[in-house]
Amino acid sequence: MSGKRKRKVRVAFSKNRTKRTRSQDLTRRALRDIESVEDLTTEERVSGKGDLTRRRTVIASGDSTADTDQPVIDVDETECRRGRVLYVIGANRCRVRMDETGEIDCTVRRRVRTMARDARNAVVAGDRVTLRIVDDGSGVIERVESRTTALSRVSGRREHVIAANVDLAVIVVSAADPPLKPGLIDRFIVSAEQGDLKPVVCINKVDLDDPVRLQPIVGTYARLGYHVVLASAATRRGLSRLKQILCGRQAVLTGQSGVGKTSLLNALQPELRRRTREVSADSGKGRHTTRVAEMIPLATGGAVVDTPGIRQLELWDVEAGEVEAYFREFRPFVARCRYPSCLHLHETECAVRDAVRDGSISVSRYTSYVRIIGDEDGATGE
């Protein structure tokens, strides 16, 4: 980046590095001058200056800005290499596939980790990174390149990026065991489209249910233009179509625990032999088997990020007034609502609600919309 104009960017740390020293002589000062007691400071505030600073200056490229979530840190690229993160362990260790050679274990430079981001981790599976090789043959990530796409959710009031720089979000649900939740499909669709990913709905374990019962659900999403795959890792039904969709693409497999994401991946590429577990007989819920999101190259070309199961999906950075944009069937009716700010809940002369009543919009999809607006059911999609 030596040919680009460099600039200084003020970025914030996620936490302070030092603590304010507590004043120890307040009592002595009061005894020396009793009249000054009323003038003593009764509270302390972090000023953000000096040793307590929450901000730091870094050298960034000329095309970065001070208010971006992830300023482009300037590094000497003649001494660095490029790679793609395969998986991350903790906050500081990850495995990276080099562009020129094989894979390498890396740590993450502290300034990358501590710069303020609304994210749980500074580096995630799928990230493109610039790294430096150190003496022991391992790498140090000096910079995370800007993400083109991301699948995210809320985790502890921060953004949890599940996977980055992928094209497709394959939303895996099960026909049974655990039961199918259309509301959760809708939440994943919103999350995917908000992150510029193309959603694909994959209903696994169709051998455990009557296919006729699934047809209304399949029809709802197919009419909206989404790819819908009826699959079974056990009987191999639908695998050829799923393989065709994934061929040459970058994708993330996401969904609840126990729906069979890893089993599908094993069926698509048997040599992987990734570990799986049965659904709990007591709770009927899936058990976490995949512990970290991992990008896995496919023999047919492209790659898939296998992710841990998600039991709740709270949407990140989606305001109530924006949700309608992610429900495709709402679009022809939104402009006909009487009020421009209509949320399609209780307003009068709402064209969207009229469309639900006359069958133009699915009742189940509208119910999902209402629950997302109200964030009901703990974001489980029940």
Asked which of 127, 151, 175 is the last residue of a domain, the reply is 151
Q: What is the pLDDT of residues 190-239, one digit of tens each?
A: 999 999 999 999 999 999 998 889 999 999 999 999 999 999 999 999 99
Residue 11 or residue 261, greater confidence? 261
The domain that contains 343 carries what CATH number? Answer: 1.10.40.50
The domain that contains 122 carries what CATH number? Answer: 2.40.50.140
CA distance 129 to 84: 6
301 and 203 in one domain? yes
In a domain, 2, yes or no: no
In a domain, 243, yes or no: yes
The token pair that represents 354 in the structure block: 């009229």
pLDDT-based confidence at residue 29 (cuts at 50, 70, 90): low
170 and 262 in one domain? yes
According to the model, what pLDDT value does residue 111 have? 82
Q: What is the pLDDT of residues 110-164, one digit of tens each?
A: 888 876 455 678 899 999 999 999 988 899 999 999 999 999 999 888 899 999 9
Asked which of 271, 306, 341 is the last residue of a domain, the reply is 306
The domain that contains 294 carries what CATH number? Answer: 3.40.50.300
In a domain, 28, yes or no: no
**Which structural domain range is residue 84 located in?**
77-151
Residue 45 or residue 22, greater confidence? 22
CA distance 378 to 143: 36
Residue 378 has pLDDT above 70, yes or no: no
According to the model, what pLDDT value does residue 192 have? 97
Q: Which of 301, 249, 257, 246 is nearest to 283 (CA)?
A: 257
According to the model, what pLDDT value does residue 65 have? 40
φ/ψ (deg, to 5) at 201: -95, 120
147 and 242 in one domain? no
The angle formed by the CA atoms of residues 165, 168 and 172, to the nearest 5 degrees, is 125
According to the model, what pLDDT value does residue 281 have? 44
**Cβ-Cβ contacts under 8 Å for 236 (sequence gap 6 or more):** 267
Give the range with max mean pLDDT: 29-38, 57-66, 87-96, 240-249: 240-249
287 and 220 in one domain? yes
- Taking residues 68-73, report their average pLDDT: 55
In a domain, 114, yes or no: yes
223 and 107 in one domain? no
Residue 330 has pLDDT above 80, yes or no: yes
- Taking residues 100-116, report their average pLDDT: 82
Residue 14 has pLDDT above 70, yes or no: no
- Taking residues 270-297, report their average pLDDT: 68
What does pLDDT average to over the chain? Answer: 82
259 and 201 in one domain? yes
According to the model, what pLDDT value does residue 114 have? 75
